[in-house]
Amino acid sequence: MTLGFSKPVDAVTAVLVISEAALGLGLLALLISYLPSIYGSFSRREVMVTSLEAQAGASAWAATLLERQARIGGLDDLEWFWRDWARWFADIEETHTSSPTLVHFRSPQPDRSWVTAAGAVLDTAALINSTVDVPRQPSAELCIRSGYLALRRIGDFFGMPYGPDPEPDDPISIDRAEYDAVCRWLIDSGAPLRPDRDRAWRDFAGWRVNYDAVLLRLVWLCRAPHDPWSGDRAIPFRPATMLRGRTRP
């Protein structure tokens, strides 16, 4: 709003007009100053998404990541990986709930997405904790917790439904045949797997159920690419209207 549209009729009106013009200009300056903060959050997010391509492929997938780690003998040396991604999950929880428009900011490359990257990392941790026969990695378990808490907090803003305390045997979007196919792939790549496949499947499903529903709804919301085990099975939902801290479906 600018000055000059008409001559104020008295001093009071002139003060109000000048104040309104100054307020509009100040608001514009505030918004411009906020843009670097938004871009900084976007840039930090995308650096990690970009780095994941070297490990999990252009279409981010846990099976690809584990295959490459198995071939280079890196399955026992992922502590740094879980720490970095747990920190990334904490960062996106803070930035994507305080600036929810970041959820819709797409990656520079059309075959990348922060949502499918999150799914690939969480599935990798779930497979490490349940299926791959390596020493226990507590940091991978904490990474899963950091991940599903971050996705849930972001989903809460959009009113996404999910079970806050799911049972380990609740259904997930991945079936046993898909899981067994990944296990055969990992065996062919030289990854050691735990001998009790039935228990490994139950453990994997017990980890995945914590983030399955909210992940797939975020995939639909962001129109993410069709990456395996995430973008290829999006769940449509009706975003809720946010009213005074409560959601209305």
CB 8 within 8 A of CB 17: yes
Contact 179, 199 (CB under 8 A): no
CB 8 within 8 A of CB 19: no
Q: Are 204 and 131 in contact (CB under 8 A)?
A: yes
Nearest to 230 by CA among 52, 91, 43, 41: 52
Query: 249 to each of 10, 96, 99, 163, how far by Cα in Å?
Result: 50, 21, 22, 16
CA atoms of 153 and 220, how far apart (whole Å): 17
Q: What's the pLDDT at 224?
A: 95
Name the least confident of 21-25, 39-43, 76-80, 206-210: 21-25
The pLDDT assigned to 237 comes to 87
Q: Residue 144 has which token pair? A: 């899963």
Percent of the chain with pLDDT over 90: 77
Distance CA 246, CA 249 (A): 10
Task: Write out pLDDT tens, residues 104-115.
Answer: 999 999 999 999
Residue 230 · residue 219 · CB < 8 Å: yes
Percent with pLDDT over 70 in the chain? 94
Distance CA(217)–CA(163), nearest Å, equals: 13
Confidence at residue 1, expressed as pLDDT on a 0 to 100 scale? 52
Whether the pLDDT of residue 6 is over 80: the answer is no
pLDDT at 248: 38
Average pLDDT on 225-242 reads 85
Q: Between 79-98 and 114-130, two packed helices, what is the crossing angle to 10 degrees? A: 140
Mean pLDDT, to the nearest integer, of 226-233?
95
Q: What is the pLDDT of residue 88?
A: 98
CA distance 143 to 207: 11
Do you know the residue count of the chain? Answer: 249
Q: Tell me the three state secondary structure of residue 175.
A: coil
Tens digit of each residue's pLDDT (9 = 90 or more) over 9-37: 788 888 888 888 888 888 888 778 778 88
Query: 247 pLDDT exceeds 80?
Result: no
CA angle 137, 140, 144 (to 5 degrees): 150
pLDDT tens digits, one per residue of 139-196: 999 999 999 999 999 999 999 999 999 999 999 999 999 999 999 999 999 999 999 9
In angstroms, rounded to a whole number, what is the distance separating the alpha carbons of residues 14 and 29?
Answer: 23
* pLDDT of residue 242 exceeding 80: no
* CA pair distance 15, 20, nearest whole angstrom: 9
CB-CB neighbours of 9 under 10 Å: 8
